[in-house]
Chain A
Amino acid sequence: MNANIAAVDGKKHTFASDLIALTKPRIISLLLVTTVAPMFVAGTPTLSAVFWVTLGGYLMAGGANAVNMYLDSDIDDVMARTKLRPIPSGRMSPRAVIAFGILIATAATYMLAHFVNVLTAALALAGFYFYVFIYTRWLKRSSPQNIVIGGAAGAFPPLVGWAAVTGRIDLAAIYLFLIVFYWTPPHFWALALNKQRDYGNAGVPMAPLVWGIRETIDQMWYYTLLLVALTVLPVCFGVFGLIYLASALVLGALLIAGVWKVRLVRDGAWEKPAWWVFKYSLLYLALLFVAMAVDRHF
């Protein structure tokens, strides 16, 4: 593999930077927040526990992302957003990418099982398989509800963090899983509203293309209301207190307002408010999980 290949995007790509790009580090940063924060909700983890869960979580998610890039290299090639990735741009061979993905996922499984516990490793591996086989391989190209059911893959990290500290999965952990699960549709449909042409060119049946814009925006609205209601329920059985409740309501109110703005658009100019929802929803989820951890310790 050649190093220092100058790509068409004007950036200098090295072999190392391509390996990092395969893991999709920007996406993983949010996954790690939803992994580590639950550890502090579940208890007071040691520094070594946080280290191994963070490293193992990064490698497992990174491995899943690399395998995803291998499986999706054909459609990455026709989407403006993804055509500069290592495989479609010709900087890495597909075989090298899948080998890298499987290697780091295997390393993550060993790390989590050996240094944390077997349940944590099993849950992380389940997230890997769900993302690769259920989402990427099956649903992504076959159903407009691809990111509804496929969203479960991104909801495994809270279970991983919780299991690392408690060694079990209980009602609170299920709530954290469901919060990410129900956060996913409005988040990704806000992106899909802005990238319809890309998804259309690639033949990915995203909801706006199959159901239409208005139906998708309606669903974004319903999922957002459901999500915000869901976030306050753990307060009822004593998992969280006032700090979290206030944070969930304020953060949720902003998300509801953002999606409502998208819903009000009648002249087709939904792209700007939808993009705001996409960006804010990232912040929303991160801050919500930070609020959980803060609430449990103050």
Chain B
Amino acid sequence: MPTPIAEFIFWAASAVIVVAQLLILRSTRRGMKVGPPGSGSALEWAFAVVPAICLIALLVLTWRTMHAGTFNFDAKAPSSGVSA
């Protein structure tokens, strides 16, 4: 189980990330409105939305990893010249 400090850091950082990401989306929307014709395309919007979705997935994955305690540094490289 994560420590209370880890839990606090997670929720505090997550709150900042979610709010900042929402503000980025709002600002992008505003920027698309004032930009030249064609700058408000669906693709342009996707450039802002896709990273936001990835961030949410990351937060979920982080939460699961914290509670499963599964993260470790034990892996070794299947390399031809490197030993970790």
Residues of A near any B CB (own CB < 8 A): 42-46, 48-49, 52, 114-117, 120, 143-145, 148-149, 163-168, 170-172, 174-175, 178, 181, 205, 207, 210-212, 215-216, 218-219, 222-223, 225-226, 228-230, 232-233, 235-239, 245
Nearest CB on B from A295, distance (A): 13
Nearest CB on B from A81, distance (A): 24
- Minimal Cβ-Cβ distance residue in B for A43: B84
Interface of chain A, main secondary structure: helix
Taking a contact as CB atoms under 8 Å apart, the answer to whether B31 and A237 are in contact is no
Specify which of B2, B14, B47 is in contact with A145 (CB 8 Å cutoff). B47
Size band of the B side of the interface? 35 or more
Specify which of B2, B20, B55, B80 is in contact with A222 (CB 8 Å cutoff). B20
Known contacts A145-B44, A223-B24; decide if A235 and B9 are in contact (CB<8 Å). Answer: yes
Nearest CB on A from B14, distance (A): 8
Specify which of B20, B44, B61, B77 is in contact with A117 (CB 8 Å cutoff). B77
Could you give 5 example pairs across A and B, Cβ below 8 Å? A163-B77, A210-B31, A210-B39, A225-B19, A236-B9
Is B82 an interface residue, CB under 8 A from the partner? yes
Taking a contact as CB atoms under 8 Å apart, the answer to whether B61 and A148 are in contact is no
Taking a contact as CB atoms under 8 Å apart, the answer to whether B77 and A164 are in contact is yes
Interface of chain B, main secondary structure: helix
Nearest CB on A from B44, distance (A): 6
Contacts of A170 in B (CB 8 A): 71, 75
Taking a contact as CB atoms under 8 Å apart, the answer to whether A167 and B75 are in contact is yes
List 5 other contacts, CB 8 Å, given A165-B84, A215-B30, A223-B24. Answer: A163-B77, A164-B79, A166-B77, A167-B77, A167-B79
